[in-house]
Chains A and B, each alone.
Chain A
């Protein structure tokens, strides 16, 4: 290995700096648009890196990756839709902050946290990579199962208003994760006989639908501005730094969680940020504020998910096992360049890898200025654009975003349908986040458990394989118990206090009404549970075990909720409660559905143009003057053309062969 100065000098060459800057900028934008992923952006740019010097190419790819993970926060904060799965937990507090007029502060906090987390991950990558890589090997299927359960305990946190409804949502999410060909057993499950469902429900498409469609329906329900613009206050940098300093321990803990979870090839940024969020809430003195716009929540999730970038490169470079999908693409690019990752890389004396890691540090630092400027622009844009333009813009992004994932029109239909289900569930008091958690973690839990079962069965020691002989699992289980116990203890104290109040003021008169919506929802879930149990009978043992367990749990919980609803225990999950169905809301839902169904046959450009005009009229409140209408129409034409060309020409996404274009 050459000396550090040479490496630093090479990494800081003007060309590499420029590439890092462009990479971060491009990555941030791609990350902010739901559906467009770092994997896609990197894959498109890989051929260009072949003509570059290997180190420069890699620096650019790394910069895109880290920028995209950061960019996911923008959509999470401003539109309540995670731009990438890593930003799921950022919506919990980011969107409430934006709603109350602190969107600018939230974006600045996300930027500081991302830079901090990214730096921790990158520094650990440079200093301790070979040693930390052993963690990837120490984690086996069993540990992934327990890790998924730890993530699922967050449902309890997220369903403060009504735990039973939250749990039902979680079970529904796990059900969604089981649709398609079972990895273990190979059976086809819950597809309803449709070949298009064999691939299962794509998590990104589900995220876009579940989070974004209810926001859109809410937007057209009232003439109010989408977000409160607040007065111009600059970046609110000092305020944000002050909050970050107060949360210094939270930042360090979350960054370490992010790096460690990033090392695990089966986990990734979404799980890292969920666990960091859960831990931050548990440790915080104002934990009841989490989910209502607590800055500490954003700091936790955004530092954790950017720390996974450095963490994910650890197994990629040291073991030759990609930590995340973008790592896999970068690894492929390295192989084509003739650089073989894996155990020999660090001994080969090739400087490229060190130049690359230094470049990652530089790219992370560049996120600060780039992020602040892009963030400020995005915030102003979202708050200032009139609703009549914002509605078609966001709707169009959901359509092309869900299409671009696999260039599959089917994903778009799934996105809209799940969005409408999420909206209806929200009306009945079922929050979207428990469903998303179940969907993201369901497969990890199921496969981890079933593998432990098979391996334990082969070795004749199932319990040993699942828990007894696995010290890391003990640790995760202890965390699960701790996370579950603390809220219960707090609840008991709260109840005791409340009882004291009651005895003082005399018994409160119970005015409880039957929760009709909640009951209707529970009946639907009960029917689903019965269907699951019936379907599971036709499956192999390996593929049926989880459907039986989840179906039974869903059935019992739904029955319980039906009884509770009758007795008036309605209750709405923290972030549940959709906007009521208005005429405009139904018009929007209908337009989205028709758009998703018709664009593969008629053509993406034409349907998008028509749908955007309809949505523009749906989002327009008050009188529409002719010059204004002309401006709107022109904007829609430019917008649709620009995105269409980007998909077709820049990102190389194969568009369906339609009647028109």
Chain B
């Protein structure tokens, strides 16, 4: 089906629904959705899930574009030079947009990025290979207490969400582990299943993909993840760890307040779609709803949490 036909149908359905207020219509034409990473990752897959629903709701196409480089920094550094009409939006990721400016000069500051909606996170999960002697988190703590630094924990990159998870785990339990950074999630999976590292800081999405090859010791959600009913949350175990890598949508600073709210409403509507929720949860994602109106509070909370960790990570260098 051609774009024009699709647009015509979209326009027709809008007219049928009788949505008045055409003057304020947002979006006005196809929306470009810039993903600051390569195709194939979590940011891309979830954007693809949103893509079809965005068209159903607005009648406009959503075009996914990739702008990878420097762990996302290249795209975020250029966000505010894009025209702020809401026709170009960009994926934003936490802790990236907080940690990068704290630890180096990536060409942008955290407050330069206008987040409109945070729609999901991939919860941190502590995983081991299925033949590992570690059956519970307590086993890990015992081993790490017996030999400080002797337990190796793999993860993707330095100063990343996985690195942060390892640091929080050490802070909360008082044990010392050795964090081994890899390039990308794929490399960490081979390292875990192949036995190079004793355990892995991954996400529930990784655990879903690995199926029986790995075992999830604990998940950093408030309540047990529906796909892992047998894995406890860290909270249940008395370890204060809830979080992971958050993904949201940002716009250039010049975008009018009205458009920000409208976009936030659309993303919220997609998030409320039961088929979307099911698709996301089956892959291991956890949905959250932080609309534009609640963004400042949410960001302030996250920044405070990451500031302490960033100082600890830096002192280890």
A residues near B, CB below 8 A? 39, 42-43, 46-47, 50-51, 136-141, 180-188, 195-196, 198-200, 265-266, 315, 319-322, 325, 328-332, 335-336, 340-344, 406-408, 443, 447, 451, 454-455, 457-460, 540, 652-654, 657
Question: Contact mask B101-112 → A, CB, 8 Å, 1/0?
Answer: 001111100000
* Interface presence of B183 (CB below 8 A): yes
Query: Knowing that A139-B194, A332-B44 are A-B contacts, what are 6 other residue pairs whose CB atoms are under 8 Å apart, sorted by A's residue number?
Result: A265-B187, A320-B210, A328-B38, A329-B39, A335-B283, A343-B211
Question: Contact mask B189-217 → A, CB, 8 Å, 1/0?
Answer: 11101111100000000001111110000
> Which one of B1, B40, B106, B211 contacts A332 once the chains associate, using CB atoms below 8 Å?
B40
Residue in A closest to B186 when the chains form the complex, CB atoms = A321
* Interface presence of B317 (CB below 8 A): yes
With the chains together, A51 CA to B2 CA distance in Å? 11
* Interface presence of B49 (CB below 8 A): yes
> Which one of B67, B107, B212 contacts A343 once the chains associate, using CB atoms below 8 Å?
B212
Residue in B closest to A455 when the chains form the complex, CB atoms = B152
- Would you list 24 pairs from A and B whose C-beta atoms are within 8 A, ordered by A residue? A39-B39, A47-B48, A137-B193, A139-B194, A181-B158, A185-B158, A186-B181, A198-B104, A199-B73, A266-B183, A319-B190, A322-B40, A325-B38, A328-B39, A329-B38, A332-B40, A332-B44, A335-B283, A406-B69, A408-B69, A458-B178, A459-B150, A654-B34, A657-B81
With A137-B190, A406-B68, A455-B152 as given contacts, are A195 and B106 in contact (CB-CB < 8 Å)?
A: yes
With A335-B283, A343-B213, A455-B197 as given contacts, are A183 and B74 in contact (CB-CB < 8 Å)?
A: no
With the chains together, A455 CA to B193 CA distance in Å? 16
By a CB distance below 8 angstroms, the chain A residues around B71 are 181, 199
Judge whether B186 and A265 touch: CB under 8 Å. yes
The stretch from B14-22, B58-66, B261-269 touching chain A is B58-66
By a CB distance below 8 angstroms, the chain B residues around A406 are 67-69, 74
By a CB distance below 8 angstroms, the chain B residues around A181 are 70-71, 104, 158
Judge whether B40 and A329 touch: CB under 8 Å. yes
By a CB distance below 8 angstroms, the chain B residues around A335 are 45, 283
With A198-B73, A406-B74 as given contacts, are A325 and B189 in contact (CB-CB < 8 Å)?
A: no
Residue in A closest to B188 when the chains form the complex, CB atoms = A321
With the chains together, A383 CA to B52 CA distance in Å? 47
With the chains together, A50 CA to B1 CA distance in Å? 12
With A138-B194, A186-B158 as given contacts, are A180 and B40 in contact (CB-CB < 8 Å)?
A: no
The smallest beta-carbon distance between B28 and chain A, in angstroms, is 19
* Interface presence of B180 (CB below 8 A): yes
By a CB distance below 8 angstroms, the chain B residues around A451 are 180, 182, 196
Judge whether A140 and B151 touch: CB under 8 Å. no
B residues near A, CB below 8 A? 1, 32, 34, 38-41, 44-45, 48-49, 51-52, 63-71, 73-74, 77, 81-83, 103-107, 149-152, 157-159, 178, 180-183, 186-187, 189-191, 193-197, 208-213, 283, 313, 317
By a CB distance below 8 angstroms, the chain B residues around A315 are 190
Top 5 closest A-B pairs, CB basis?
A: A186-B158, A199-B70, A328-B40, A137-B194, A195-B107
Residue in A closest to B32 when the chains form the complex, CB atoms = A654
Judge whether A199 and B69 touch: CB under 8 Å. yes
The smallest beta-carbon distance between A44 and chain B, in angstroms, is 9
With A183-B158, A332-B48, A455-B180 as given contacts, are A196 and B150 in contact (CB-CB < 8 Å)?
A: no
Judge whether A186 and B40 touch: CB under 8 Å. no
By a CB distance below 8 angstroms, the chain A residues around B105 are 195
With the chains together, A325 CA to B44 CA distance in Å? 13
By a CB distance below 8 angstroms, the chain B residues around A186 are 103, 157-159, 181, 313, 317
The smallest beta-carbon distance between B220 and chain A, in angstroms, is 22
Residue in A closest to B104 when the chains form the complex, CB atoms = A188
By a CB distance below 8 angstroms, the chain B residues around A188 are 104
Residue in B closest to A452 when the chains form the complex, CB atoms = B196
Residue in A closest to B61 when the chains form the complex, CB atoms = A47
By a CB distance below 8 angstroms, the chain B residues around A443 are 183
Judge whether B82 and A43 touch: CB under 8 Å. no
By a CB distance below 8 angstroms, the chain B residues around A454 are 152, 178, 180
Residue in A closest to B163 when the chains form the complex, CB atoms = A186
Judge whether A328 and B41 touch: CB under 8 Å. yes
Residue in A closest to B205 when the chains form the complex, CB atoms = A335
Judge whether A140 and B40 touch: CB under 8 Å. no
With the chains together, A568 CA to B82 CA distance in Å? 57
Judge whether B151 and A458 touch: CB under 8 Å. yes
With the chains together, A183 CA to B65 CA distance in Å? 26
Judge whether B209 and A320 touch: CB under 8 Å. yes
With the chains together, A459 CA to B143 CA distance in Å? 12
With the chains together, A322 CA to B152 CA distance in Å? 24
The smallest beta-carbon distance between B27 and chain A, in angstroms, is 17
With A39-B39, A458-B151 as given contacts, are A265 and B159 in contact (CB-CB < 8 Å)?
A: no
Residue in B closest to A46 when the chains form the complex, CB atoms = B39
Judge whether A342 and B186 touch: CB under 8 Å. no
Judge whether B45 and A336 touch: CB under 8 Å. yes
